[in-house]
Structure 1
Amino acid sequence: MNKEKEAKFYELLKKNKELQNIINKEIEKNREKDKIMFSQNKMAALGEMLNNISHQWRQPLMELSSLFIPLEGKINLGVKVEQDEIKESIEKLNDITKYMSNTIDDFRNFFATNKEISEFKLLEQINIAYKLMSGSFKANNISLEIFVSKNPKVLGYKNEYTQVLINLLNNAKDALIQRKIENPKIIIRVKEYEKEIILNIEDNAGGIDVSPLEEIFKPFFTHGKKNGTGIGLFMSKLIIENNMHGKLLVNNTNNGAEFKIITYKKDQK
């Protein structure tokens, strides 16, 4: 190799090394951005969960208050309180505190950090999502209808799948509230096919006025949602498509928006 060719060879090696360093730096930047986005999504989810806890606990706290007000009134008036009355109040108190404790367990399990792939029954995760949001739904008179012909099993990360369900249900709930829809309703349908399982979530809030609709899955995209982070749907799509090798799709129906979660059966990915 003559000196000129050798010089060009080493120059090319130098440029390749510099290019590799630039690529590595960009990869690291993207990783940092992903970490920030995951952190923001987690904080947003935590905020939603705290809001749901407040709805879940409001009614039992009122029931606790109603248990002791009559007893306190009798004591203040010097009226004798019967033993059976005290015993009945204690039994109701135990039931209410047990319910509140179970609520905390539900939320703790939802935020568990275990990332193990497992086979889970879809209806169980739907029920968990509903339990975590039922207080908020009841407070806003939103009805939830669930149609499941079977209870298919899904292979993946069950907590993350539940997080996607809650993200989609929260978005539907917010749209129904903001648009002041009469008789607000959300419908969940589950269908099992030979190779795939499809879960549909449809609301009657009038649909999403974005074109193309897929724009809503872009990071930091917000549309018609106050104080939204714009990462809930983006993260949901990542969870379903990257982590579970499925698909998350959206379309408008005659009533509103419909999200479709497609997951594939074991050995069908």
Structure 2
Amino acid sequence: MRQTKLEDFLELERRIKEEVDKSREKDKILFQQAKLASLGEMLGNISHQWRQPLMEMNSIFLPIEAKIILGKKVKNSEILEAIEKLNIITKFMSDTIDDFRDFFSNDKEKIKFNLLEQINSIVNIISTGLKAHNIKLDILIKKNPNLFGYKNEFSQVLINLINNAKDELISRNIEDPYIKISIFEEDESVVVTVEDNAGGIKVNPIDTIFEPFFTYQKQNGSGIGLFMSKLIIEKNMEGKLKAYNKNSGAFFEIKIPKE
């Protein structure tokens, strides 16, 4: 009898382990799909980021080229000024590449990182895409804390929330569109909120948006962005990600325990 109970217990333990392993494997697959979905959006962002600098680089040397063609003298100061401007632009483009490379690198371990520095890196990636649609981005900082976790995964969450807000603002033709990011501390937590004026989340119950493969009136959406965002914050960073409708739009709240 005891032997039978032991065998039953061992079989139950084996099944539990098997199901846990299956669940982890599904999470890995979904996370990879989320990364691939983000890649398409990031390529769009980098094309926006580089288009303006490339145009500026072209315009820098146009006056010099015109003088050479017309046989006019080009001053050394003009050439040095053009080179200085070129250096500034190429540094900006190089920094953008670093931001994208960091974003897609695999986080191997949790590290301490500064929240504002990471947000500035995110803004460097997405700002031009927002400007192209006249979307105002406000960042309100009451505290500038450090976090402990997977910084690139955290960046992916913020970029996903901002891109979702951008898509809704564009698709709904919102007048004077804006996105606001707020950073502050509350008790023993660091809080980051992302809100917009796109009219709110028209899903009931609202937590449905965090279910895998759920999409709502969004073309070419994978339906895994918000699901993975919640997984990253709540499983990988031991925090909470919640969504509300507030004022004139959607309101996402990220709470992460202080280190």
Q: Same fold (TM over 0.5)?
A: yes
Task: Using the TM superposition, give the Cα deviation of residue 248 of structure 1 relative to its aligned residue in structure 2, in angstroms.
Answer: 0.2
- Aligned pairs for 1:33-182 (under 5 A) are 33-182=26-175
Root-mean-square deviation (CA, aligned residues, Å) is 2.4
Residue 9 and residue 82 in structure 1: after superposition, are their counterparts in 2 closer, same or farther (change >3 A)?
closer
Correspondence for 1:188: 181
Counterparts of 1:62 and 1:211 in 2: how far apart (Å)?
46
Correspondence for 1:217: 210
> Bigger CA drift: 68-77 or 177-186?
68-77
Of 236, 248, 258, which residue of structure 1 is paired with 2:241? 248
Counterparts of 1:83 and 1:119 in 2: how far apart (Å)?
47
Counterparts of 1:81 and 1:210 in 2: how far apart (Å)?
64
Counterparts of 2:27 and 2:237 in 1: how far apart (Å)?
18
SS of structure 1 residue aligned to 2:203:
coil
Per-residue CA distance 1:194-225 (angstroms, 9 max, x = gap): 21122111100000100000000001111122
Residue 167 and residue 23 in structure 1: after superposition, are their counterparts in 2 closer, same or farther (change >3 A)?
same
Task: Using the TM superposition, give the Cα deviation of residue 161 of structure 1 relative to its aligned residue in structure 2, in angstroms.
Answer: 1.2
Counterparts of 1:234 and 1:71 in 2: how far apart (Å)?
53
Task: Using the TM superposition, give the Cα deviation of residue 90 of structure 1 relative to its aligned residue in structure 2, in angstroms.
Answer: 1.6
SS of structure 1 residue aligned to 2:44:
helix
> Structure 1: 5+ residue runs without aligned partners?
none
2:135 and 2:179 in contact (8 A); partners too:
yes
Residue type at the aligned position of 1:127: N
Counterparts of 2:19 and 2:142 in 1: how far apart (Å)?
48
SS of structure 2 residue aligned to 1:43:
helix
What is the number of residues matched between the two proteins? 259
Per-residue CA distance 1:52-75 (angstroms, 9 max, x = gap): 111111111010110122222233
2:114 and 2:147 in contact (8 A); partners too:
yes
SS of structure 1 residue aligned to 2:32:
helix
Q: Tell me the TM-score normalised to structure 2 length.
A: 0.90
SS of structure 1 residue aligned to 2:35:
helix
SS of structure 2 residue aligned to 1:223:
coil
Task: Using the TM superposition, give the Cα deviation of residue 25 of structure 1 relative to its aligned residue in structure 2, in angstroms.
Answer: 5.9
Counterparts of 2:48 and 2:19 in 1: how far apart (Å)?
44
Counterparts of 1:92 and 1:191 in 2: how far apart (Å)?
37
Verify: 1:198 aligned to 2:191, yes or no: yes
Task: Using the TM superposition, give the Cα deviation of residue 119 of structure 1 relative to its aligned residue in structure 2, in angstroms.
Answer: 2.8
Counterparts of 2:85 and 2:184 in 1: how far apart (Å)?
40
SS of structure 2 residue aligned to 1:210:
coil
Counterparts of 1:185 and 1:79 in 2: how far apart (Å)?
49
Task: Using the TM superposition, give the Cα deviation of residue 40 of structure 1 relative to its aligned residue in structure 2, in angstroms.
Answer: 1.0
Counterparts of 1:25 and 1:200 in 2: how far apart (Å)?
37
Task: Using the TM superposition, give the Cα deviation of residue 122 of structure 1 relative to its aligned residue in structure 2, in angstroms.
Answer: 2.0
Residue type at the aligned position of 1:129: I
Q: Tell me the TM-score normalised to structure 1 length.
A: 0.87
Of 226, 238, 250, which residue of structure 2 is paired with 1:257? 250
> Structure 2: 5+ residue runs without aligned partners?
none
2:197 and 2:249 in contact (8 A); partners too:
yes
